[in-house]
Structure 1
Amino acid sequence: MKKDLRQALQTSLLTGDGAMGTYLYQLGFPVGVSYEEFNLIKPDVIESVHRRYYEAGARVIETNTFSANAENLSRYGLEHEVERLNREGVRIARQAVGSDAFVVGAVGPVGAGKRKSIGAAQMKQAFEQQIGILLDSGVDGLILETFYDLEELLTALRIVRAGSETPVICQLAVEDSGRTREGTSLQEAFRRLQEEGADAVGFNCVSGPNGIMRAIDMAGLPAGMPLTVFPNAGIPDYVDGTYMYTAGPEYFAESARHFADRGARLIGGCCGTTPEHVAAIAQAFANYTPDVSRPASAVPEQDVLAVQAPAAHRAATQPSGTAGGTDAPAPTIVDLVRQRHTVIVELDPPRDLDIRKFMDGAAALAEAKADAVTMADNSLAVTRMSNIALAALVQERAGIRPLVHIACRDRNLIGTQSHMMGLDALGIDHVLAVTGDPARFGDLPGSSSVYDLTSFEMIRMIKQLNEGTAFSGKPLKQKANFVVGAAFNPNVKYLDKAVQRLEKKIESGADYIMTQPVYDKALIARVAEATRHLSVPLFIGIMPLASGRNAEYLHNEVPGIQLSDEVRRRMAGLEGEAGRAEGVKIAQELLDEAIAHFNGIYLITPFMFYEMTAELTRYVWDKTAARV
């Protein structure tokens, strides 16, 4: 006999289902439509998805009602179909699965987490309508999921508790700051949810297993409170017009056991997951008993902060310039790399207002004689301090050349040209034009992605500024002096096809190439051979690993990065100083191979451990005697 969901969450290890929206997209259904409307117009499709997850082993099935509130449905003219969409969502789910499965009503935030002007009364009314219909339809429980704002989640929870004792799961969508979007600590958020009557708390969406693991380690669970976890399948990558997720089923199975050891009692998947991911979770739990006495681990913050995908994941550009503070124009990065080994080091801007560590890192890299410090432009669509402001400070205070990334995502044509003109006025003439990860995958998913330009077009437009011509075609009275680069991912199955695409970037005007980090010496040699004919220099990417967890995250969740089996084996289980020491050692071995084939070296700083990339910069000079 099936247990009550509340009891099952306390005593059992449950497998949840996976994504609905991204799975429908994967099956060929277009974006920009209401997938909730499929409850009425394509019920057989929704029933099939539920059944696939059930057959894969899921025993907690979410109704296809995440956005089925009046506010979200009004975007599609469906605000008058709230009742039918929710009732059909419950009926279809019940019909698709066996009696041993729990059917829970899925409720998402009003406005889908966007900061739109919805009044408190309007929000409450939307929740009351949807929640009332789901409860009346006889669900086994409710899952309030993907909430960015604690207060909105509490509003929905209070509505449930005002008239029902139905089990309620409350899931926050957070990134690695350890706080909700309005600044509440996760520990405080969970405490308040428990006081208001939540039966389980947890996380879903926004990040993959690694990011949610970090959030758990920082949160601290209230005593006796079950944890639920529904991660994304890693970070999405945009390939040939299609969004792809990188974390595979095997990685999900391994992560599921780690979640269970940390107190998770319901584990499923969010964006990018499929029945294969769910089957892997279910199989991982088949003969597994978690250590229920183990509290969430207290991992030091420096070992759990997220590594941002390196700049080359996005698309590239770069200019020429003056060395900070000198009167005479210095050789450009392209000039230098044609003469000797040259080192560019990536150091990401901070996500808060404290720049001290960043500036310390820039000073350390200048002391190590790095040739340039490169700064991303809100990488992974996560809000960071302006890299232009920091570039000016780096140039002035540290005396090292800044290389600034410019994302197509954040500015229209007007803003992009204005941005570039400002850089020219500041004497910052090395930039990196990047596509930019879609805003909906970042920390402010309600913001818009602009994309007036592609990275190819950005390269051409920057070259147009170098001719003294504005984007509009009007003269600018003088010429800019930007050097433009392009990104290259060598971690692909067909290297020759990737090189052909790279050749088109060079035809667009790219002056040099930066690669994704490479962790295989044999691949470094193959890249050298495959790109030998190119007319522009290539900077080979090397990113030292910080820990075993960091290695697995990069391999499984970050698009465009693949670690060799040997590297993963060497990093397995290493954390803290031991992990960083081995990471530097592996990077030095890779540099030995890279130096033999390339003059251009691109070092990516993991987290803010700039000591690691400063040490590796000095290692390059010791090996090459290129700097004195």
Structure 2
Amino acid sequence: MKEDLRKALGQRVLIGDGAMGTFLYQQGFPVGVSYEEYNLLKPEVIADVHRQYYEAGARLIETNTFSANREKLSKFGLDQDVRAINQSGVELARQAVGEDAYVIGAVGSIRAARRRNVIPEQLERDYREQMEALLEAGVDGLLLETFYDMEEIVLALRVARQLTGLPVIGQFATDGGAMTNDGVDYQTAFEQLHAEGADVLGFNCHSGPNGIIRTLEKLRPVPGVPFSIFPNAGLPSYVDGKYTFGSKPDYFAENALKFADLGARLIGGCCGTTPEHIAAMAKALEHYVPSSAGRAVGSAGPVKPASPDAGTVAVSQPSGAAEPSLLELVQERHTVIVEWDTPKDLDISKFMEGAKALKEAGADSITMADNALAVTRMSNLPLGILVKEKLGVRPLLHIACRDRNLIGTQSHLMGMHALGLDHTLVITGDPSRFGDLPGSSSVYDMTSFEMIRLIKQLNEGVAFSGKPLKHKSKFIVAAAFDPNVKYLEKAVQRLEKKIVAGADFIMTQPVYDAKLIENVYESTKHLNVPIFIGFMPIVSEGNATFLHNEVPGIKLSEEVRGRMAGLSGESGRAMGVQITKELLDVAMPRFKGIYIMTPMHFYGMSAQLTQYVWEKSGR
């Protein structure tokens, strides 16, 4: 008989399994179906996934029941099959693995960060129904995973504790921050959840290893409560209609040791991970012995929310129409576009302060993303107006295919036209399920190619529907280009199609390699539109590690990673600026367009680099 899970985690590190849904997707199974229903329809497929994870070294196996609650199953007409799907999930996992493995009932968040879409009474009913089915089937414990709000996980935990004395694991989704979505710092949350009866606490999904480590480092250990960690395989990339994840198994192996040193005693994987990731972590931790002294302590206490900055920024008077356009400027001289993120909250003081500093540094345009990484931020439309009218800086607004259908997109563009905001960058947009509101929909009514074409149709005075608009818009449209790919030729061919669709100029993803800059120049010099080559300075060793291992397409050279080794704070940012200056030295003789992305709100770095461009160009 296996020892109690709580006792096992008090003595050693246990390897958990990896992703189910994204792994099935990678195997060719379609999206838009209930993978939980496969417990009944394709039991051999689910059992085989469990078996692969067990053979890779996992000794804690989650049932395929993450969304097997009445609310989620009702969307597929399966609300009468809650008990059958959950109990079959337990039986399949139990039959597929050895007796030395713990089979844990997976229970996912129902609200999925949409805090008011399901009332508490319904939540309690749905959780009770699902947990009763899992417990009747004989699980070794329950795993409450991917919760965003303290309110919901407390409710679920109380239901669990009313039903069983078996081990209960509670996990939040985090982006590397310090608080739940409803404003509770994780230190307080963990202490309260332990008091409510949680045996193990931790994080899964939403972030790769880097984001979860950043959150863990802010926490003090809660006595007697081991951490459980199940990160994603980095950030997803959406290429040619398919999601892919970039983090490799060896990176997970390296970070598994870091997790263990920080107090994790249960370590597995979430979205994008595979049996190869689990096998790599199992091998890395094969001889790991937890320190009796416990893990290193991070912050001295709970992280308190910062108080809003009440200060104001002195701004200039409106400067009127911004002429000439970026397209005209870059034909004549070096031109700098700086990306500056809009805030995640309602305080715009730092945003305006940074925008003012970037203007004073000489930025020709400030570009604002459209909820980058699918994380909710203040709309770039009103902030574009503030930047234009109060600072006299030309705004360039990103517009994503993800967030608006055809109606909303045309309406948004018509509003931009009315406000005189005529520069835009068209992007596909990161998938919603990997942002801070994973329950929201990704629209994708059109591709980036189609959106470029439709915007240019507005310039002809014709609506998306083909009806006349009485006036013609004057949009200048940029297209995105990622040169950090295995086959640059194919990426350039795709770029050529965007130019045919009507793109006026190109803005690239950040480049960190001098040789790649040269290759991009040689591969694109035949194009008849300007290219703004992208740079985002590195801020620390941890940032370099994250970019290299978790951001799709970006690979840093050993030389760059070596120069960033051991650096953080001011010294890290200084080295990041120096490395970027060296890359600018390579880029500026080849490209007149320079695109600087501000990292982590350190707008001073972007200002320094903008000034460097002017020094080098003699402006």
Give the TM-score range, shorter chain.
over 0.9
Q: Name which of 459, 462, 471 aligns with 2:455.
A: 462
Q: 1:373 matched to which residue of 2?
A: 366
Q: 1:193 matched to which residue of 2?
A: 193
Q: 2:499 matched to which residue of 1?
A: 506
Is 147-156 or 225-234 further displaced after alignment?
Answer: 147-156
Distance 1:325 1:416 in 2: 28
Structure 2 residue matching 1:218: 3-state secondary structure: coil
Distance 1:489 1:421 in 2: 28
Q: 2:10 matched to which residue of 1?
A: 10
Tell me the amino acid that sits aligned with residue 521 of structure 1.
A
Q: 1:93 matched to which residue of 2?
A: 93
Q: 2:327 matched to which residue of 1?
A: 334
Q: List aligned pairs for 1:80-479, cutoff 5 A.
A: 80-110=80-110, 114-115=114-115, 117-291=117-291, 292-298=293-299, 325-327=318-320, 330-479=323-472
C-alpha distance 462-396 of structure 1, shift in aligned 2 (>3 A):
same
Task: Tell me the CA shift for residue 409 of structure 1.
Answer: 1.5
- Please list the CA deviations of residues 298-319 of structure 1 after superposition, one character each: whole Å capped at 9, or x if unmatched: 39999xx9xxxxxxxxxxxxxx
Q: Name which of 491, 494, 500 aligns with 2:487.
A: 494
2:538 paired with 1:537 = no
Tell me the amino acid that sits aligned with residue 294 of structure 1.
R
Distance 1:127 1:5 in 2: 22
- Please list the CA deviations of residues 417-442 of structure 1 after superposition, one character each: whole Å capped at 9, or x if unmatched: 22112222222211112221122211
**Contact between 1:185 and 1:219, CA under 8 Å: does it hold in 2?**
no
- Please list the CA deviations of residues 226-250 of structure 1 after superposition, one character each: whole Å capped at 9, or x if unmatched: 1101011111111111110111111
Task: Tell me the CA shift for residue 174 of structure 1.
Answer: 2.8
Task: Tell me the CA shift for residue 158 of structure 1.
Answer: 1.2
Q: List aligned pairs for 1:38-49, cutoff 5 A.
A: 38-49=38-49
Distance 1:296 1:373 in 2: 40
Distance 2:262 2:25 in 1: 32
Structure 1 residue matching 2:475: 3-state secondary structure: coil
Q: List aligned pairs for 1:532-571, cutoff 5 A.
A: 532-571=525-564
Task: Tell me the CA shift for residue 161 of structure 1.
Answer: 1.3
Distance 2:85 2:204 in 1: 23
Tell me the C-alpha RMSD between the 2 structures. Answer: 2.0
C-alpha distance 619-281 of structure 1, shift in aligned 2 (>3 A):
same
Tell me the amino acid that sits aligned with residue 148 of structure 1.
Y
Give the unaligned 5+ runs of structure 2.
307-315
Tell me the amino acid that sits aligned with residue 537 of structure 1.
P
Task: Tell me the CA shift for residue 259 of structure 1.
Answer: 1.1
Q: List aligned pairs for 1:55-74, cutoff 5 A.
A: 55-74=55-74
Identity of aligned residues (%): 62
What's the TM-score once normalised by structure 1's chain length?
0.93
Tell me the amino acid that sits aligned with residue 100 of structure 2.
D
**Contact between 1:489 and 1:498, CA under 8 Å: does it hold in 2?**
yes
Task: Tell me the CA shift for residue 113 of structure 1.
Answer: 5.2
Task: Tell me the CA shift for residue 604 of structure 1.
Answer: 0.7
- Please list the CA deviations of residues 18-57 of structure 1 after superposition, one character each: whole Å capped at 9, or x if unmatched: 0011101111111111111221221111111111101111
C-alpha distance 242-459 of structure 1, shift in aligned 2 (>3 A):
same
| Count of residue correspondences | 607
- Please list the CA deviations of residues 575-625 of structure 1 after superposition, one character each: whole Å capped at 9, or x if unmatched: 111111111111011010001211111111101101111111111111111
What's the TM-score once normalised by structure 2's chain length?
0.94
Distance 1:115 1:604 in 2: 32
Task: Tell me the CA shift for residue 116 of structure 1.
Answer: 6.3
Task: Tell me the CA shift for residue 117 of structure 1.
Answer: 4.1
Structure 2 residue matching 1:80: 3-state secondary structure: coil
**Contact between 1:67 and 1:112, CA under 8 Å: does it hold in 2?**
no
Structure 2 residue matching 1:79: 3-state secondary structure: coil
Distance 2:5 2:297 in 1: 23
Task: Tell me the CA shift for residue 450 of structure 1.
Answer: 2.0
Distance 1:229 1:396 in 2: 47
Distance 2:102 2:505 in 1: 56
- Please list the CA deviations of residues 533-581 of structure 1 after superposition, one character each: whole Å capped at 9, or x if unmatched: 0000101111110001101111111123221221112112211111111
